[in-house]
Structure 1
Amino acid sequence: MSDALKALLIESDQLARVLELTAEELGVCIALDLNTKRELKEAEEYLAQAEAERIAEAVTRAKVEKAGPLAHVAQSSPAFRSAVDTVVKEARQNGLAPLHRRVTELRTAADEAQIAREQVSVRFSAMKRAADLRSAMLRTLSS
């Protein structure tokens, strides 16, 4: 067996090991990406529900007590939408602040997990193409 063929075999074996490790890393990244997105969706739904409750409370207060940012504002007016936005903003800054902060953190984590997944996926594809090329070279040399 020639030195060139031995070197190619050693290189191919090393490439196969790296490809296997990259495949494992890709699996971890996929799981992290999916779990983070699921957790983000749940947190966003919970935040939306909590915000809806705050809006409902403000609407009720405006109707019953004639007080609060929604008082004396027609529900069909643009001012009502603006007042609702104010209610949500205040809720996010006060009682819902920890939940809003968590959603923001999860959005960042989800973006980072997706980027990591894409980067490892690109690296895996490149390694796979290199492994396929080595395989073709070995088949040609062994014929």
Structure 2
Amino acid sequence: MDQFQISKMLNMNNLQDILSSGKVNANEGEQIYKFLLINDYYISSEYEVVNTLFKVMVLNNLWDAQIALRYFEYLNYEGWEYECLIVRGILLENNLSLAGEFCLETKLVQNGLSYFRDNAIWRGIDYDNEHIPISPAEWGISYDYKKKKFYKKSS
């Protein structure tokens, strides 16, 4: 799967413009939002395209608890363990905007290759405080919309 296929899935001919500018109109933002809620992009090797779509959500004030959870789940599913540790720690501190800042600063591809951090230190804080289980389901988090809080899923 490549960027063209992602743009077909999104039914957007102007995806490259969106990725370059980070700006979307309301309809495009809604399309990308809905797209990020499904799992279709999990099979894509266009990690930086998908990551940029999450960044577009932040830049256009569409970053919310649901998208932040999808970002965490995507990182977890794709094996970005240290990035996942950082996002999980930030979300469990209920700092949604800081998770968005991390997303904006994160690159999943460098020099054309997948890029994996070599530690869970971000902005001087070490988020490496727990073991990542083999099964992503054992490490999940959820969001309580009434209490407006992220919490660890109980197994």
* TM-score category (smaller protein): under 0.3
Higher RCO, 1 or 2 (CA under 8 Å, sep at least 6)?
1
The structure with the largest alpha-carbon Rg is 1
The TM-score normalised by the length of structure 1 is 0.22
Higher percent of residues as strand? 2
Higher percent of residues as helix? 1
